[in-house]
Amino acid sequence: MINQDKIREGVRLILEGIGEDVNREGLIETPDRIARMYTEIAGGMEEDAAAHLNKRFHVDSNEMVLEKDIVFFSTCEHHMLPFFGKAHIAYIPNGEVVGLSKIARTVEVFARRLQLQEQLTAQIADAFMDNLHPQGVMVMIEAEHTCMTMRGIKKPGSRTVTVTTRGVFKESEQLQNTFYQMLRQ
């Protein structure tokens, strides 16, 4: 459970730490706003991807399904700054598919947590394998990390690309190439 009292207390301490007046008009509601914001951006911790992937539809042909350009916002666990971009998810069914919106909902479950991009990529792939049991899944995420662009090394425009494969995608270069070709279309 997200503890809003602790978040409010923590935000007040940060404001004091940077020398702010926590009682000035513009800041008086900020601890409360941030507590509410975290129930949204860390809300995935209280969700289970299974809830979205457990409603399935029978299909006769097991052709590849690709949902691409799923925009997401997540938060990096090292600096608690946003990273954001697009996720692309392909799977080869094993007699069953999920509703298309559930693919994006699965991304949200894992993006709305403190994350590493590599871990986000792997968790999405594992959720598909564990719940939908497809023949294979491939996930690619392209993202900009604001901890790299607005602070530290300050390299605006640099993007991090992560890819993971499970099942038949792991062994088949041909399937991986099909995924990359479909992304370009």
181: β partners = none
Nearer to Zn ion, 53 or 76 (CB): 76
User: How many CB atoms sit inside 10 A of residue 61's CB?
Assistant: 6
Annotated binding residue 58: no
Active site residue 77: yes
52 is in an annotated binding site: no
179 SS3 class: helix
Site string for ligand GTP, 65-84 (x = CB under 6 A): -----------x-x------
Can you give the length of the chain in residues? 185
Respond yes or no: is residue 47 known to be catalytic.
Answer: no
User: Rounded to an integer, what distance in angstroms lies between the CA atom of residue 111 and that of residue 83?
Assistant: 9
Q: Is 76 annotated as a binding residue?
A: yes
> Would you give the binding string for ligand GTP spanning residues 132-171, x where CB under 6 A is met?
-------------x-xx---xx------------------
Range 35-39, long-range pairs (CB < 8 A, 24+ positions): 35/4, 35/5, 35/7, 35/8, 35/11, 36/4, 38/2, 38/4, 38/7, 39/2, 39/4
11 touching ligand GTP, by CB under 6 A: no
User: Choosing from 79, 119, 142, 176, which is the catalytic residue?
Assistant: 79
**How many Å apart are CA 49 and CA 97, to the nearest integer?**
15
Size of the residue set binding ligand GTP (CB under 6 A):
10
16 catalytic residue (yes or no): no
Please give the residue ranges that form the binding site for Zn ion (CB under 5 A): 76, 78-79, 147
List binding-site positions for Zn(2+).
Answer: 76, 79, 147
Please give the residue ranges that form the binding site for ligand GTP (CB under 6 A): 76, 78, 116-118, 145, 147-148, 152-153
